[in-house]
Amino acid sequence: VGSSGSEFTVPIAAGESSGTGNLLLPIVLHELRTTYDFTPVTLAPGQVLTSPDESVDYVYFIDEGLVTMLAGTSAGHTVEVSTVGREGIVGAVGCLGPNFSPWESRVQVAGNARRVSSRQLCEDLGSADTPLGGIVLRYLHYEFCQVTQSGTCGRLHDSSARVAKWLLIATERLESAMLPLTHDAIAQVVGGPRHEVSRDLARLEASGALQRGRACIWVRDAAALRAAACECYDRVRGARDRLLGP
């Protein structure tokens, strides 16, 4: 297991959240309030925010919840390539040129977001010199780091290490030790059969890292979970810290 030198802890009790509100917007809050027309929206589990090869009408600044970017096949198999919580944005990839999404963006955990027209946002992304342009372009760089590492992870690391890594990332994004996720949902994002994911979760529970419940997972020992995770967790977190700040 790799190490970035940063310490991971779950800073809150199970079922509690340390806060809401998108972490990128305060940096440019004054500009956004006077320039952009945001609409508060509710995010429901299973809701699709962008679809592969379809135009992106809106960009979402996540305030609370968890959204995964999924690549899929014609047979219906999926694997996650990026995860977004309140540190991030969904749909900005459509501003890079041709306005379409390369993946499906699906809500995994309910929450809220602020939505803005992608056309309105993209008009300001021609330059990284604007506060918003700089933030969005740095975030997209981070998102592509996640996509690249996801390909490496899926090819080189076993199912158990991938499950542990993803649970760590989900815990950070939600800022909660309680993850309202089913085995099926976890299998979809890690790209493995459900029975393998259930086996991996049972082993992690036996180690004391987590506790399984009905349609939920409680992280009990973050250090044990991190010891079981592949090095991709550290690489993704390192990229986030470099590009977005710790």
- Considering only residues 162 and 98, tell me which one the structure prediction assigns the higher pLDDT: 162
- Considering only residues 166 and 29, tell me which one the structure prediction assigns the higher pLDDT: 166
pLDDT, mean over the chain: 85
Please compute the mean of the pLDDT values over residues 184-212 and round it to a whole number. 94
* Stated pTM of the model: 0.85
Please determine, for residue 4, whether its predicted confidence score (pLDDT) is greater than 50.
Answer: no
Give the per-residue pLDDT at 86: 93
Helix (H) or strand (E) holding 109: strand 104-117
Please determine, for residue 6, whether its predicted confidence score (pLDDT) is greater than 50.
Answer: no
Query: pLDDT tens digit string along 62-85?
Result: 999 999 999 988 888 888 999 999
- Considering only residues 103 and 2, tell me which one the structure prediction assigns the higher pLDDT: 103
Give the per-residue pLDDT at 100: 87
Give the per-residue pLDDT at 16: 40
pLDDT band of residue 245 (cuts 50, 70, 90) is: confident
Percentage with pLDDT > 90 across the chain: 62
Least confident of 42-51, 94-103, 136-145, 196-205: 94-103
229 is written with which tokens?
A: 């995770």
Question: For residue 5, what is the DSSP state?
Answer: S
- Considering only residues 179 and 191, tell me which one the structure prediction assigns the higher pLDDT: 179
How many angstroms separate the CA atoms of 90 and 72, rounded? Answer: 18
Please determine, for residue 1, whether its predicted confidence score (pLDDT) is greater than 50.
Answer: no
Residue 74, number of CB atoms within 10 A of its CB? 5
128 is written with which tokens?
A: 């990284």
Rounded to 10 deg, the angle between the 159-174 and 232-244 helix axes is 30
pLDDT band of residue 200 (cuts 50, 70, 90) is: very high
Query: pLDDT tens digit string along 120-176?
Result: 777 766 655 666 777 888 899 999 999 999 988 988 999 999 999 999 999 999 999
pLDDT band of residue 9 (cuts 50, 70, 90) is: very low
Give the per-residue pLDDT at 19: 56
C-beta separation of 70 from 81 below 8 A: yes
C-beta separation of 59 from 90 below 8 A: yes
Give the per-residue pLDDT at 73: 86
Q: What is the CA radius of gyration of the chain?
A: 17
What string of DSSP letters covers 107-172? EEEEEEEEEEEHHHHHTTTT-TTSHHHHHHHHHHHHHHHHHHHHHHHHHHS-HHHHHHHHHHHHHH
- Considering only residues 35 and 234, tell me which one the structure prediction assigns the higher pLDDT: 234
